[in-house]
Structure 1
Amino acid sequence: MGLIVKKFGGTSVGTTERIQAVAEKLKASRDAGDDVVVVVSAMSGETNRLLSLAESVNSNPPPREVDVLLSTGEQVTIALLTMALEQIGCAARCYTGAQVSILTDSTFSKARIQDIDAESIREDLGAGRVVVVAGFQGVDENGAITTLGRGGSDTTAVALAAALEADECQIYTDVDGVYTSDPRVVPNARRLDKITVDEMLELSSLGSKVLQIRAVEFAGKYRVPLRVLSSFEEGPGTLITYEEEGMEEPLISGIAFNREEAKVSVIGVPDTPGIAAKILGPVADASIEVDMIIQNISQQGLTDFTFTVHKRDFQNTLDLVRSNAEVLGARDVYGDDNIVKISVVGVGMRSHAGVANTMFQTLSDEGINIQMISTSEIKISVVVEEKYLELGVRALHKAFELNKEPVAEQES
């Protein structure tokens, strides 16, 4: 028994029948003695429908008013879920982000949470009610409604769990946990019983869509135990937790990939101080995020500079760099959007050598050429041709034996 914050996404509450099923789950948890706070998203498809409405009356709708519109999706869900709970004899009360006083900054469409006043929630929990909170939204210091960006309900749930000092934050979704890789690409991918916050942060940033990265960051900052569970199947899910002193970790926990990468190469620029800033300055000014960067060793005073961006920003980036090529003194600028990034992630890398060699040799054995390499303490990422995505991921999954359950080492 304890205080549990549960979050249900759009698919989980996509119909009134599914909302009623969620209500039954919540009542069962409450009857078992838990204090329950639940965060819900808009019903599946509702946010896109509302965006379409906005664009049908204004081709460039004001962000402030878009947030007012989009916040209504979650308000529908909290009201319906609270009604469903009351129908089955479970006392409940719902709150919008503003009513809970989830205070954010004023960055409409991607606001960040600054503070939460959880006093009213505590009072309702003390009175035996299930508390239903609208995810994805808050209010700024001027009283304007804000939204947290796609996947923001995850962040709402973790932030509430932190504010309430909950025993666990449970994220219910359409998958039953975090897998060693995408089961649609690797059929024998294995569900992980647990994974560290650091590993989940890397997987989220590298393309895993299970959790919003800001939610994982929040969990790490405030040490909120986080669990991913299925809305439709019973099971233990995956616990996202912290490394324990002396705990043996698997060498590699997962393989992530990102299809939305494109690269731009600037050939033959003078190898002088500040050249990287001159290349990337206009890109940053256009609010384009850069991922991987490689600068070659200087040859005869010239160097090549390659970096990657999101595929949606590819043409804009290429145009910007080409327009600046003469100023840079570059011989040529070219791009390629037929690439993917494949990454191996695991805290076990910290204490084991040879991960990079195994990765590179495995790809070489499959005839896959590596175009770029990036590393961190617990991650190695490579860029390869897009056509090799599935072959590369499956080969690496097999090479690191991720389909097998880890064997606990015996104490000597």
Structure 2
Amino acid sequence: MLPAGSYSSPALALVVQKFGGTSVGSIDRIRNVARRAIAAQKAGNDVVVIVSAMSGETNRLLGLAHEASKLPEAREMDVIASTGEQVSAALTAMAIHAEGGQARSLLGHQVKILTDGAFTKARIKTIEGSKIFSTLKKGQIAVVAGFQGVDEHGDITTLGRGGSDTTAVAVAAAIGADACEIYTDVDGVYTTDPNICPSARKINRISYEEMLELASLGAKVLQIRSVEIAMKYGVPVHVRTSFSDAEGTWVTGEDKSLEDVVVAGVAYDKNEARVHVVGVDDKPGVVAELFGSMAEKNFSVDMIIQNVSKTAQDRADVTFTLAKTDLARAKPAIEEVAKRLGSNEVRYDEEVVKVSIVGLGMRSHAGIAARMFRILAEEGINIQAISTSEIKVSCLIHAKYTELAVRALHDGFGLSKEASA
């Protein structure tokens, strides 16, 4: 992503504020957004507001598309889906005017946010910030429609679910903003899901790397690509609620204080399916062919285990996981390559969940994985598969143990409110 250009202002800071669907879910809430943006400007900041579609609106629009056509074209899906943010941007600008401020709404193609041509899941290539800069220099608040851009042919594109987060952080990086505030319906990033574990506590600061792992492992506070961009360009991100003035969670570069925390959070992902390919040929190249076939068809696999088959000599069993939402489409490809590799049976299990612990401190503390396995064992939870990285350990378990596992790990690593008090 290329810089949008230079910008200078006597203001204290250049701030990007992103408001999600819940925060703009009604006219009253849009008025609240307007008041927040005006207050930030009156405090001496130049303000860029990024808005999502009103809550439920994108689903409504996509539902209409599927009513009109069983297989709607991806290009036209983007045209209709992008209108939700267009409405929010215009209403927010109107509300700012009504509250005594000045604002100008800008759509993706006006900014201009240039993307590749992958409709419904486009990636940002460059951002041209001249219209944002000229808006700010007039003393106006720039209200930018999130989630959307335009490709080199002038076609409207969208960035995928949660794409307004990506828009906000990318715009912040491109215009050199001092901070990107992500306003949502939660007041920050928690040590785990408070709906499952009431003792979960809000984290004041977390590293980009930890947040990236948590986002990829099922935590839904920030969209993964937004964290990637923030980390690449060093954009400080403040995750906070739009319903109070309380401090939220700062997502920043790592420092010594963050490294001292062994485990920062516990995540879980229910969108996992386990595939067990029984009795493939036990010879070089078999695993490469199996997963090469998956990659060619754009199916991402996660945990992988290969062991000697129980059914016959010179055979091996291969177990792996992939997204549950991909399983139906992946089955024909899996069974085709499995048969080619000598397997007579493929088993599937969708009653699984991946639970994970994440923390920078794992780099310098031994025995963390063993401690995780012991905590699960003490609760009678069997581990079906394991994967690790430098700052993460993930275990695949039966879905019925999700809440028990999350609570046990959260308390076992001292993450509860009481333990931190």
Q: TM-score, normalised by structure 1?
A: 0.95
Which residue is 1:341 aligned to?
354
CA distance in 1, matches of 2:378, 2:419: 25
Aligned to 2:282: 271
Counterpart secondary structure, 1:340: strand
Which sits farther off after the overlay, 318-327 or 51-60?
318-327
Distance in 1 of aligned mates of 2:31 and 2:415: 37
The alignment status of 1:289 with 2:300, answered yes or no, reads yes
Is the CA contact 1:318–1:334 (under 8 Å) kept in the aligned structure 2?
A: no
- Counterpart of 1:83 in 2: which secondary structure? helix
Residues of 2 paired with 1:285 and 1:7: CA distance? Answer: 36
For the residues of structure 1 that align with 2:111 and 2:270, how far apart are their CA atoms? 38
Q: Deviations over 1:18-77 (max 9, x none)?
A: 101110111111111111000001111111111111111111111111111111111111
Which residue in 2 is equivalent to 1:312?
325
Distance in 2 between residues matched to 1:46 and 1:342, nearest whole Å: 32
**2:38 equivalent to 1:27:** yes
1:268: how far off? 2.2
Work out the CA distance in 1 between the residues paired with 2:146 and 2:337. 43
Structure 1 range deviating more: 323-332 or 372-381: 323-332
From 294, 298, 302, the equivalent of 2:315 is 302
Distance between the aligned counterparts of 2:116 and 2:87, measured in 1?
24
1:355 aligns with 2:368: yes
Task: For structure 2, list consecutive stretches of 5 or more residues without a partner in the other structure.
Answer: 1-11
Matched, 1:385 2:398: yes
The answer to whether the 8 A contact 2:201-2:415 is kept is: yes
CA drift of 1:164 comes to: 1.1
Residue 360 (structure 2) pairs with residue 326 (structure 1): no
User: How many angstroms does 1:332 deviate by?
Assistant: 3.0
C-alpha contact 1:291 1:308 (8 A) present in aligned 2: yes
Q: Report how far residue 326 of structure 1 moved.
A: 3.3
Which structure 2 residues correspond to residues 3-152 of structure 1 after superposition, within 5 A? 3-152=14-163
Q: CA RMSD in A?
A: 1.7
- SS of match in other structure, 2:415: coil
Query: 1:287–1:93: structure 2 CA closer, same or farther, 3 Å change rule?
Result: same
2:229 partner letter: F
- Paired with 1:97 and 1:83, the residues of 2 have a C-alpha distance of 18
Provide, for residues 340-391 of structure 1, a one-character-per-residue CA deviation record: whole Å limited to 9, x for no partner.
0000000000011111111000000000000000000000000001111110
Residues in 1 aligned to 2:338 and 2:179: alpha-carbon distance in whole angstroms:
53
* In structure 1, distance between residues paired with 2:56 and 2:258: 42
Distance 2:343 2:102 in 1: 68
> Would the alpha carbon gap of residues 323 and 173 (structure 1) be closer, same or farther in structure 2, given more than 3 Å must change?
same
Residues in 2 aligned to 1:91 and 1:315: alpha-carbon distance in whole angstroms: 50
CA–CA distance in structure 1, aligned partners of residues 185 and 344 of structure 2:
50
Q: Is 83-92 or 175-184 further displaced after alignment?
A: 83-92
Secondary structure at the residue paired with 2:53? coil
Q: Which amino acid aligns with 2:377?
A: S
Secondary structure of the structure 2 residue equivalent to 1:390: helix
Cα distance in 1, alignment partners of residues 152 and 337 from structure 2: 42
CA distance in 1, matches of 2:298, 2:174: 32
Residue 409 of structure 2 is matched in structure 1 by: 396
Query: Is the Cα contact below 8 Å between 2:259 and 2:360 reproduced in 1?
Result: no
Distance, in Å, in 1 between the alignment partners of 2:95 and 2:257 is 47
Which residue of 2 is the match for residue 375 of structure 1?
Answer: 388
Q: After superposition, where does 1:83-232 map in structure 2 within 5 Å?
A: 83-232=94-243
Secondary structure of 1:296 counterpart: strand
Partner amino acid, structure 1, of 2:285: G
- Following the alignment from structure 2 to structure 1, what is the Cα–Cα distance between the partners of residues 129 and 330? 44
Q: Which residue of 1 aligns with 2:5?
A: none
Deviation at 1:286, TM superposition (A): 3.2
Q: Distance in 2 between matches of 1:84 and 1:404?
A: 39
The gaps in structure 1 that reach 5 residues or longer are none
Offset, 1:317: 3.2
Matched AA of 2:126: D
Residue 240 of structure 1 aligns with an amino acid whose one-letter code is: V
* Cα separation, 2, equivalents of 1:147 and 1:8: 17
Q: Give the number of equivalent residue pairs.
A: 408
SS at match of 1:352: coil
Q: Distance in 1 between matches of 2:364 and 2:101?
A: 50
Distance in 2 of aligned mates of 1:161 and 1:235: 22
Distance across 1 between alignment mates of 2:23 and 2:321: 35
Structure 1 residues 317 and 105: alpha-carbon distance in aligned structure 2, compared to 1, 3 A threshold: closer
Q: What's the secondary structure of 2:105's corresponding residue? A: strand
* TM-score (normalizing by structure 2): 0.93
Is the 8 Å Cα contact of residues 343 and 381 (structure 1) preserved in structure 2? Answer: yes
One-letter code of the match for 1:116?
I
